[in-house]
Structure 1
Amino acid sequence: MDTIDWLLGGDPAIRWQVLRDLLDADPAEVAAERARVAREGWGARLLAARGDDGQWAGGAHFPKTEPTRPGQPWTSTAHVLTELRLLGVDPADASVRAAIADVARVTRWEYDDEPFFEGEVEPCINAALVTNALYFGVPVDAVVERLLGERMEDGGWNCEQEHGSVRSSFDTTIGVLEALAAFEREHDDPRVREARLSGEAYLLERRLMRRRSTGEIPKPTYTQLAFPPRHEYDVLRALEHFRSVGAEVDDRMAEALDLVRSKRRDAGTWALDVVHGGDAVNDYGPVGEPNRWITLKALCVLRWAEG
């Protein structure tokens, strides 16, 4: 089967992004398909999982119930909002607007009991919050200011800074870059652009996957393609970011691009390499099998990189 036809045989969340990003379809057709995300499949299941208290799993970052699977549970409010954004659910949908209003009203962070959209203390958590909040139309300027103030000397960010770390991390930096890019789409702030460029330089200096000091790959997951990426970094996520901001293809991306190309199977698909475990609402496919999300994202990145 043709790869595009195979992608179009998937969930509405996949189909509308294929229409937009790979087929350059008519905007009305794209919008009609996108509208189905809140009503069918993965998106509908996420929205239906919201509790009677207006939030997911009774908490901001941590569910109130004990996890049944090893790993971090991904069923709580912050993580579900990230998934809804990645699926591309329409923020204007009535059920989505109602959910965001409830979260703003009742959800508070476990760490300090602050309201959800006022942010937490760790930049990795706040980065996801900013990206999600802006997607759903909630202003979070104060949280962005905090992220700007937490940039480290090497140009990136690290959640472990408060515990004494003096070097940035790939994982935190990519999350903050996504947040700053989301803010830039709505605000003309040269400070945000400068911070984003410094974080991108941090990744490029490391060829998107290697320690600058030794050339080693810090974690095996950096070369393993995942969906959803959760708090983890991988080269496809980094390349997606550069594509999303319209960056010029840089020679320092070459190794990461070659890695993505090397993972393409004979049938024209890509497999899911790893699942960042724990309880979750949706199962996006088994490890080692062709995966529509990874295939879609890889094709989008290569389309950008190869013109």
Structure 2
Amino acid sequence: MPTDAAHSWLLDSDPALRWQVERDLLGEPPEVWEATRARVATEGFGARLLAHQDPDGQWDGGAFFPGDFDWQGPEAAEPGAQPWTATTWTLNSLREWGLDPAVLRERRTVELLAENSRWEYENRPYWGGEVDCCVNAWTVANGVWLGADVDGIAAWFVEHRLADGGWNCDWVEGSKRSSFHSTLNSLKGLLAHEVATGGTAETRAARRAGEEYLLERALVRRLSTGEPVGPWVDHFAYPFRWRYSALNAAEYFRAAALFDGTAPDPRLAEAIELVRAARQPDGRWLQGGRQPGRVWFEVDVPAGEPSRWLTLSGTRVLDWWDAHAGR
């Protein structure tokens, strides 16, 4: 696919995706992509999710799971599946799609969630966080986006970082080894907090340590054996949700380097080449297969079809890497 055709194909998309193409791939001036970004609240995916917000500020009646979730039913028994309709998952999408947080502030979403939403674990208050690293990371990212006080949750990551440098959501079950999935999600939360607040010396050090955990492993290998960490490393699917992949991790390191004002770490090279290898001859990336579970609506194509979301991610990662490599 020639570049002009690829860009036209990407631009023929929902405002949630289109504004990122305009900013990150085409280098359009702010007045162009900001105008498209503003449409997220009134058109397409963003507007559809906003329409599902409950009067109490939540989505689907729950913090992480829908209020009607049957913990003993078939939905809970399906391997690898869970509903993606509750509050946290919906806020994640709206934030990642670039919704202006003023829209939710006008709806008093922070206050309503503080009053009405509780985590399924121990009935803890929503903005107080939980015990799961990934849940806390998303709460931090969503909190700083909306203006909630989540500094205490950011500090939680300092206290719960494992000895090898990263995090594991199974720490509460006694795990002492970090997880690629948990570490990447934790890093995203800490970066969002740092971008919004500057962070603290302790949270900044924790972010650097977590990055080093992944970089020491070239983002894709076990430190002990050098073997690939799992078959999911080169399985690219949108939405990313909680799952780790070389592309998901490369997107994080791109964002972190741009914020820090640093060049790409050379240890990203193997992960970058996995991203490059997945690019099709026409310049697009194929959907690897969405995670099962109920959704409000689908936002990408079925498995095996060219994905605009993955093509956006893959292209901007390679553009960033290749620009610094002098390709």
Taking a change above 3 Å as real, the CA distance of residues 188 and 169 of structure 1, as seen in their structure-2 partners, is closer
Partner in structure 2 of residue 177 of structure 1:
187
* Residue 137 of structure 2 is aligned to residue 137 of structure 1: no
Query: What is the Cα deviation at residue 97 of structure 1?
Result: 4.4
User: Aligned equivalents of 1:207 and 1:94: distance in 2?
Assistant: 39
> For structure 1, which segment, 207-216 or 173-182, has the greater mean C-alpha deviation from structure 2 after superposition?
207-216
Q: Which of 236, 244, 260 is equivalent to 1:225?
A: 236
Report if the CA contact (8 A) 2:105-2:146 is conserved. no
Report if the CA contact (8 A) 2:131-2:172 is conserved. no
User: Aligned equivalents of 1:219 and 1:211: distance in 2?
Assistant: 9
1:213-252 equivalent positions in 2, closer than 5 A: 213-246=224-257, 247-252=262-267
Partner in structure 2 of residue 92 of structure 1:
102
Report if the CA contact (8 A) 1:91-1:97 is conserved. no
| Per-residue Cα deviation, 1:174-204 (whole angstroms, up to 9, x for no partner) | 0110111111112252222211111111001
Matched-pair identity in %: 45
Name the count of aligned residue pairs: 307
Report if the CA contact (8 A) 1:37-1:43 is conserved. yes
Q: Which of 285, 290, 312 is equivalent to 1:296?
A: 312
| Per-residue Cα deviation, 1:69-99 (whole angstroms, up to 9, x for no partner) | 6411111101111111111111122677444
Q: Which of 274, 290, 293 is equivalent to 1:275?
A: 290
1:1-307 equivalent positions in 2, closer than 5 A: 2-66=5-69, 70=78, 71-93=81-103, 97-185=107-195, 186-246=197-257, 247-283=262-298, 284-307=300-323
TM-score where L is the length of structure 2 = 0.89
SS in 2 for 1:306: helix
Amino acid at match of 1:50: Q
SS in 2 for 1:93: helix
Report if the CA contact (8 A) 2:84-2:293 is conserved. yes
Taking a change above 3 Å as real, the CA distance of residues 268 and 163 of structure 1, as seen in their structure-2 partners, is same
User: Aligned equivalents of 1:95 and 1:49: distance in 2?
Assistant: 16
User: Aligned equivalents of 1:81 and 1:219: distance in 2?
Assistant: 29
User: Aligned equivalents of 2:157 and 2:141: distance in 1?
Assistant: 12
User: Aligned equivalents of 2:108 and 2:45: distance in 1?
Assistant: 18
Report if the CA contact (8 A) 1:207-1:256 is conserved. yes
User: Aligned equivalents of 2:199 and 2:172: distance in 1?
Assistant: 30
CA RMSD in angstroms, aligned pairs only: 1.7
Between Structure 1 and Structure 2, the one with more helix by share is 2
Report if the CA contact (8 A) 1:60-1:76 is conserved. yes
> For structure 1, which segment, 198-207 or 58-67, has the greater mean C-alpha deviation from structure 2 after superposition?
58-67
Unaligned 5+ segments in structure 2 are none
| Per-residue Cα deviation, 1:183-235 (whole angstroms, up to 9, x for no partner) | 11122522222111111110011110111112222321221112221111111
SS in 2 for 1:215: coil
Query: What is the Cα deviation at residue 154 of structure 1?
Result: 0.6
Report if the CA contact (8 A) 2:284-2:306 is conserved. yes
Report if the CA contact (8 A) 1:61-1:78 is conserved. yes
